[in-house]
Amino acid sequence: MEFIRENRSAFCGLAVLILIPILLPDPYIIHILILALLFGTLAMSWDLAWGYAGIFTLGHAASFGVGAYVSALLSMRIGISPWITMFIGGASSAFFGLIIGAPCLRLRGAPYIAIATLGLSEVVRITCCNLVEITRGELGLWGIPSFPDLGPIAFRGGVRTPYYYLILTIFFISYIWLKYIVNSKLGLGFKAIAASEDAAMAIGVNISRVKLLAFAISNFIAGLCGAFYAHYILILTPAIMGVTYMVDIITMTLLGGVGTLVGSVVGSFLVTLSLEYLRVYGLARFLLYGLILIVVVIFMPEGVIMRGVKALGRLRKSIK
């Protein structure tokens, strides 16, 4: 009961999200919400690395792509069920994170880690482009099987509601898991490293081990999201590992608020819904989107969530 009380806002939000497909059964709306939840979960996993552990990685989109391609190829070539390959994809991304994290996380300073992870992610993307026999390169990997039916729940025929509830489940479990981690002893280690690596080392924190754990957990969730994306969209291109996706992840996290977890989801909904709303303006929507982003970053640098919390705090004080 204590856990529910501490996370009552999250459970209230979950109740609202559960009811949306019932109240708004339009497939287009559900599709947009699926993308918002998907990228919200992805941004939330990046927030663990940057917002809590102080690891400014630019290779998160590559982990997303690794999970997507591993899951898709295993289900296509070997015939393993996507329900299994989805977790294999997440594990593959976690392993990928450990491989690139081992050398990169030894660097001191966010700019160096950012450049190193960005460079390695570009190596992965270009490799994927050139492995035409396996990935079909820029032509795109298509014919990816969707999720098999779960009893009466059918993941086919253009019905999007089952996918919505699946990504909602992934999002909520990821949120609860990450919330538990950041409030645990390991989470304190993350925060200590983000504040000062020297001070963290002085109090006995194993810097390398804790950083690698943060990187692995973050990349596992990214790979899980990538695997879901593969079996939902049913086509993959190396573009999903590009800088554009990484910029979107960072934007969502900054808009919602770094170091809040739920802020990443709020930022994802703001970005996804605003881009769809501005679609009537054609390519000019990206200019409008950029202007809105600049205004928000200038006037609300702490993010929407933290600004809202501060506003509520001032309101309570004025009432008292």
pLDDT at 319: 65
Q: What is the pLDDT of residue 158?
A: 72
Can you say whether residue 124 is alpha, beta or left, with left for phi > 0 and alpha for psi between -120 and 50 degrees? alpha
* b/e per residue 297-319 (b: at least 16 CB within 10 A): eeebebbbbbeeeeeeeeeeeee
Closest Cα to residue 228, out of 93, 119, 83, 111? 83
Helix (H) or strand (E) holding 77: none
**Whole-number pLDDT of residue 161:** 92
pLDDT at 38 (0 to 100): 96
Cα dist from 295 to 4, 107, 282, 303, 313, whole Å: 36, 33, 21, 11, 23
The pLDDT of residue 40: 94
Per-residue pLDDT, 81: 94
* Distance from chain centroid for Cα 304: 18
How confident is the model at residue 244, as a pLDDT?
83
**pLDDT of amino acid 277:** 81
pLDDT (0 to 100) of residue 311: 62
Interatomic CA distance for residues 174 and 27, integer angstroms = 25
For position 198, what pLDDT does the model report?
A: 82
What DSSP string describes 149-172?
Answer: PBTTB---TT--HHHHHHHHHHHH
Half-sphere exposure of 305 (CA within 13 A, CB side): 20
284 C-beta neighbours (distance < 10 Å), count: 10
Per-residue pLDDT of the chain (320 residues; tens, 9 = 90+): 555 565 666 677 788 889 988 888 889 999 999 999 999 999 999 999 998 988 888 889 999 999 999 999 999 999 999 999 999 999 999 999 888 888 887 777 777 888 888 888 899 999 999 999 999 988 889 889 999 988 778 887 678 999 999 999 999 999 999 999 999 999 999 999 888 888 888 888 888 889 999 999 999 999 999 999 999 999 999 999 988 888 889 888 888 888 888 888 888 998 888 888 877 777 776 777 777 777 776 777 667 666 665 666 566 666 65
Any idea where the domains of the chain sit in the sequence?
2-319
Q: Name the CATH code of domain 2-319 (choices 1.10.3470, 3.30.360, 3.40.1010, 1.10.10).
A: 1.10.3470
DSSP 1-16: -HHHHHTHHHHHHHHH
Q: What is the pLDDT of residue 154?
A: 80
